[in-house]
Structure 1
Amino acid sequence: MPQKNVVSLLLVAVIAVFCWQAAQSAPREDQDAELYRLFVDAFEHVDRNYVKGVDRRKLMEAAINGMLGELDPYSNFIDQSHYRQFDRQTSGQFGGIGIQISEKDGILTVISPLVGTPAYEAGVLAGDRILEVNGESIRGMPLRDVVSRLTGPEGTDVTLSIQHRPYDKEPKEVTLKRAIINIESVLGDSHDKNDAWDFMLDDDNKIAYIRLNAFTKQTAEDLTEALKELEAEGMKGLVLDLRYNPGGLLESAIQISDLFVDEGKIVSTKGRNTIERKFFAKKDGTLDEFPMVVLVNSSSASASEIVAACLQDHQRAIVVGERTWGKGSVQNVIELEGGKSALKLTTASYRRPNGKNIHRFPDSDEEDEWGVSPNDGFLVEFSPEEHRSYFRDRQKRDRVLGKRSELIKANGDDGNAKEEDNGDDEAKPFEDRQLKKALSYIREQLGEEKGKDGAPKEEATDKADTEKKDAEATADAAETD
């Protein structure tokens, strides 16, 4: 056949295919156009005719939220006022002064300064009251608005009017220079004398304890640094606490899992319009020469479940505690308006290394396969009161009171003012049964649970409990922080 005829036939075939595709897509395009007109008509009628004036932007954001609300609980719209905060949480960094704050009766109170930050170095203390920011009263101001005034570009100044504990009659002014604040996501059980986290919980048996409260861009790097320090101290066992951890970045969960597993699949993800992705462990840098426990509970979700499932399936760690939340979906953050707002949209689901499901669907019951369950014999459930007691105890132990500085001296004391009584002291110390079970298992693995005659060896006293009792005794005797 002449080449000219072949080209003509190919051209006819291409045109035919194009026309067929156009014919197939035409109904869909017509339908979409009709739906868009429906939305615009409804929007315009509400805007023009509703009994009161409406904010068009709020109306549009409500429409977007309504649309996403039809999908699942995890897809949502992040508006301009919340996107900066969301970005801070996932990146783990922001420009600020480094304090944790809360509002009570319209008064802003410092929960704790963050170690090494401008606020900590300036002597801002837990319990201090902040009355003004840059000369503006913040009494009764929404917490979100206060945070926006305290945060800002690195190197800029912010002036606070502070009443130092125990609340001097006259507030003092202090000007702080904002710095890049790293949000702590890698924490220990208690602080040492320099206010740094002490990750070695049991000195006698060299059992470390690390708590992750989020999975940010910084978490894997910070965890690696903590593990290096612990290796230098002779770590022989590790408790990784993921309780109450709502998750975070998929990449962070993969990196952290890879620290402890030397080969095999970590997790797999599959979306509607994407091929299945499988993530595998690499041997380089793996820490797999010590017994390990992962603590989880019903509030451990998403990235927490990826790590717990991976270490459990590879028999790298025993899982202790309660069945996890059951969130086996991945959300993709899609920036809108040039990065001023975003869609957090569920785009894929994930499965644990053994291929089993993690996600708890709306019609799932207790007998179905979802979440990450503790290993046999390691289910330790907290009562509602134990959960509350845990948080009260944890808040006290996490708090950093502060350090001496010119600000403290200006208030006429030595920085040892008695901490305000919040009235939440318990009759007896909180017993963390889940942590106790984890420590018992690791000690057994290290051969520390039984004496030479085979009789049970008296359980080693946790350093954290000893330090807590010593601190309470010192506070009672000297009425100091």
Structure 2
Amino acid sequence: MSLATVRGLLLCCFISGLLAPLSAQETKSDAKTEAKPAAKPEKEALDYELIKLFTDSLDQVERNYVKEIDRRELLEAAIKGMLTKLDPYSQYIPPNELEKFRSSVENEFGGIGITVSVESGELTVISPIFRTPAYNAGIRGGDIILEIEGQSTKGITLDDAVKRMKGKIGTAVKVKVQHIADNKVAELEVKRDLIRVDSVLGDHRKDDFNWDYMLDGDKKIAYIRITNFGRHTADELRSVLSELTAADMKGLILDLRFNPGGLLSTGIDVCDLFVEEGKIVSTAGRNAPERLWKAKKEGTFSEVPMVVLVNHYSASASEIVAACLQDHDRAIVIGERSWGKGSVQNIVELEQGKSALKLTTAGYLRPSGKNIHRQEGAKESEEWGVSPNEGFEVKTSKDDDSRWLEDRRQRDVIKVAKPRPPMAQEPPVEPYVDQPLQKAKEYLVDKAAKVLAAKQAAAK
């Protein structure tokens, strides 16, 4: 296709955009909806000149740059450059990254169900995902994958390893694995399946590798950690809450630390599990109508005292949940002030779904009407994010954060113990103490005792 054709297409798109009919939403009978005013002749002329500037620049690069460059690379670079003038959350997703993006949103993909890393040049299993083909085949954390489909993994990149093991559901992949437990090598044929990554985790794993959601079995204090807000998070959480309610849960800690967010709809559904009525969140944008979501009483777990844990890396949907429960006095918030991402991104398909644009289209407000989004250059004294309740701030250092992440990673791992030869007595390792979690537990134990005392007094 010539540059003249490209320019013609761009101009046709520009003109058709001016003459396009109103969308289905805009043509609805609504007194508040007004047709957009036609573009002024001066603006049309300026837009024409800007498009001409772009196509002329593309023409010059293609014809005269010192070496030949693929036109798609140039256009994708232009799109990405355009988006740098927007906020950090708007981005272009090219075809080769779209599947990975969708998997991260849906929390599911076709594969064998392991997380891996490359350590000292060896493809090492961090952990199998519980009850997946890899888990059922006996692969455990610490095992080394020596070959995939007969090809050595020595020096393999992480992306290449993932691509080789992912595939169509129902197909098989052959792997040669060295087990950490006994150093024996096994050749396995593992059938790919739909892998769903759990986003609702407990405090630690039981002997059968199921999650234990009771932080304190005697006091009946439960602990749930949400890693992100994916498509199935609310359903997972509802199931766990039903189990804990049947186990006579007296208090609940909802840990949203290091949770980057996810789907707005899922954040709203999670709030609705704990709040009986009232506003959950509202959104509004320049070209998006104001929307308001309210809680429904049906299916609400509203009786048990709650604590929400947040830190500086809790963002987006995490902040929606923390802010909603805090504003409704449904839970107290313990930890540090959250990140401050109060914007909504829509996914716009491009090229008939081959690529996509993640575009910020609106911002959201907490039930109290206060702002969540932290604008560039915002001061600590300004209103943004979600701050702990008064008297419940627990600041952590970078070292604390690193130790927390490692502690939780070890709890996630499904592995078998590797036998070790007798060694000289090792110096004791100072156990990690999760200070925000300890404060949350103390609060709920005290709260549960007061609730029990009140019930006993009322019964007399």
The equivalent residue for 1:380 is 394
Aligned residue for 2:248, secondary structure, equals coil
Rg larger in 1 or in 2?
A: 1
Aligned residue for 2:169, secondary structure, equals coil
Q: Which amino acid aligns with 1:65?
A: K
Instruction: Tell me, in whole angstroms, the C-alpha distance in 2 between the residues paired with 1:46 and 1:349.
Output: 38
The equivalent residue for 1:93 is 108
Mapped pair 1:147 → 2:162: yes
Instruction: Tell me, in whole angstroms, the C-alpha distance in 2 between the residues paired with 1:449 and 1:380.
Output: 25
Cα distance change on mapping 1:171 and 1:58 into 2, 3 Å: farther
Any runs of at least 4 consecutive aligned residues in structure 1 with deviations exceeding 6 A, and if so which? 448-451
The equivalent residue for 1:5 is none
Q: What is the 5 A alignment of 1:78-477?
A: 78-165=93-180, 168=183, 171-401=185-415, 417=419, 427-447=429-449
Q: CA deviation at 1:146?
A: 1.7
The equivalent residue for 1:74 is 89
Determine if contact 2:283/2:363 at 8 Å carries over to the other structure: yes
Where structure 1 has 5 or more consecutive residues not aligned to the other structure, the ranges are 1-20, 403-414, 420-424, 452-481
Instruction: Tell me, in whole angstroms, the C-alpha distance in 1 between the residues paired with 2:351 and 2:38.
Output: 34
Instruction: Tell me, in whole angstroms, the C-alpha distance in 2 between the residues paired with 1:387 and 1:180.
Output: 33
Aligned residue for 1:380, secondary structure, equals coil
Q: Which amino acid aligns with 1:431?
A: V
Q: Which amino acid aligns with 2:347?
A: V
Determine if contact 2:310/2:337 at 8 Å carries over to the other structure: yes
Determine if contact 2:180/2:418 at 8 Å carries over to the other structure: no
Instruction: Tell me, in whole angstroms, the C-alpha distance in 1 between the residues paired with 2:220 and 2:38.
Output: 71
Instruction: Tell me, in whole angstroms, the C-alpha distance in 1 between the residues paired with 2:161 and 2:51.
Output: 40
Which one is further off, 100-109 or 319-328?
A: 100-109
Q: CA deviation at 1:166?
A: 5.9
Cα distance change on mapping 1:24 and 1:36 into 2, 3 Å: closer
Cα distance change on mapping 1:274 and 1:416 into 2, 3 Å: same
Q: CA deviation at 1:163?
A: 2.0
Q: Which amino acid aligns with 1:432?
A: D
Which one is further off, 43-52 or 302-311?
A: 43-52
Determine if contact 1:440/1:449 at 8 Å carries over to the other structure: no
Aligned residue for 2:115, secondary structure, equals strand
Cα distance change on mapping 1:450 and 1:387 into 2, 3 Å: farther
Instruction: Tell me, in whole angstroms, the C-alpha distance in 2 between the residues paired with 1:62 and 1:222.
Output: 40
Instruction: Tell me, in whole angstroms, the C-alpha distance in 2 between the residues paired with 1:366 and 1:416.
Output: 49
Q: CA deviation at 1:231?
A: 1.0
Q: Which amino acid aligns with 2:263?
A: L
Q: Which amino acid aligns with 2:444?
A: I
Instruction: Tell me, in whole angstroms, the C-alpha distance in 2 between the residues paired with 1:262 and 1:65.
Output: 43
CA RMSD of aligned residues (A): 2.2
Instruction: Tell me, in whole angstroms, the C-alpha distance in 2 between the residues paired with 1:187 and 1:368.
Output: 34
Cα distance change on mapping 1:50 and 1:84 into 2, 3 Å: same
- Higher RCO (CA 8 Å, separation ≥ 6 residues): 1
Where structure 2 has 5 or more consecutive residues not aligned to the other structure, the ranges are 1-35, 422-426, 454-460
Q: CA deviation at 1:145?
A: 2.3
Q: Deviations over 1:455-480 (max 9, x none)?
A: xxxxxxxxxxxxxxxxxxxxxxxxxx
Instruction: Tell me, in whole angstroms, the C-alpha distance in 2 between the residues paired with 1:267 and 1:92.
Output: 24
Determine if contact 2:118/2:124 at 8 Å carries over to the other structure: yes
Determine if contact 2:182/2:418 at 8 Å carries over to the other structure: no
Cα distance change on mapping 1:242 and 1:113 into 2, 3 Å: same
Q: TM-score, normalised by structure 2?
A: 0.86
Q: Deviations over 1:321-379 (max 9, x none)?
A: 00000001001011112222211100000000000000111120110000000000000
Q: CA deviation at 1:47?
A: 2.2
Q: CA deviation at 1:291?
A: 0.5
Percentage of pairs with the same residue: 53
Q: Which amino acid aligns with 1:140?
A: G
Which one is further off, 68-77 or 55-64?
A: 55-64
Cα distance change on mapping 1:284 and 1:426 into 2, 3 Å: farther
Instruction: Tell me, in whole angstroms, the C-alpha distance in 2 between the residues paired with 1:426 and 1:239.
Output: 30
Instruction: Tell me, in whole angstroms, the C-alpha distance in 1 between the residues paired with 2:376 and 2:48.
Output: 33
Cα distance change on mapping 1:99 and 1:387 into 2, 3 Å: same
Determine if contact 2:115/2:125 at 8 Å carries over to the other structure: yes
Instruction: Tell me, in whole angstroms, the C-alpha distance in 1 between the residues paired with 2:353 and 2:161.
Output: 23
Instruction: Tell me, in whole angstroms, the C-alpha distance in 1 between the residues paired with 2:434 and 2:428.
Output: 14
Instruction: Tell me, in whole angstroms, the C-alpha distance in 2 between the residues paired with 1:433 and 1:151.
Output: 39
Instruction: Tell me, in whole angstroms, the C-alpha distance in 1 between the residues paired with 2:393 and 2:50.
Output: 51
Q: Which amino acid aligns with 1:53?
A: E
Mapped pair 1:29 → 2:31: no
Aligned residue for 1:34, secondary structure, equals helix
1:43 to 55, 58, 71: 58
Cα distance change on mapping 1:85 and 1:200 into 2, 3 Å: same
Q: TM-score, normalised by structure 1?
A: 0.82
Cα distance change on mapping 1:111 and 1:22 into 2, 3 Å: closer
Q: Which amino acid aligns with 2:75?
A: M
Determine if contact 1:262/1:281 at 8 Å carries over to the other structure: yes
Instruction: Tell me, in whole angstroms, the C-alpha distance in 2 between the residues paired with 1:416 and 1:254.
Output: 44
Instruction: Tell me, in whole angstroms, the C-alpha distance in 1 between the residues paired with 2:145 and 2:64.
Output: 45
Q: Which amino acid aligns with 1:319?
A: V
Cα distance change on mapping 1:441 and 1:54 into 2, 3 Å: same
Instruction: Tell me, in whole angstroms, the C-alpha distance in 2 between the residues paired with 1:316 and 1:272.
Output: 32
Q: Deviations over 1:186-220 (max 9, x none)?
A: 00110011101111111111111000000001000
Determine if contact 1:443/1:449 at 8 Å carries over to the other structure: no
The equivalent residue for 2:78 is 63
Instruction: Tell me, in whole angstroms, the C-alpha distance in 2 between the residues paired with 1:426 and 1:304.
Output: 37
Q: Deviations over 1:233-261 (max 9, x none)?
A: 11111000000000000000000000000
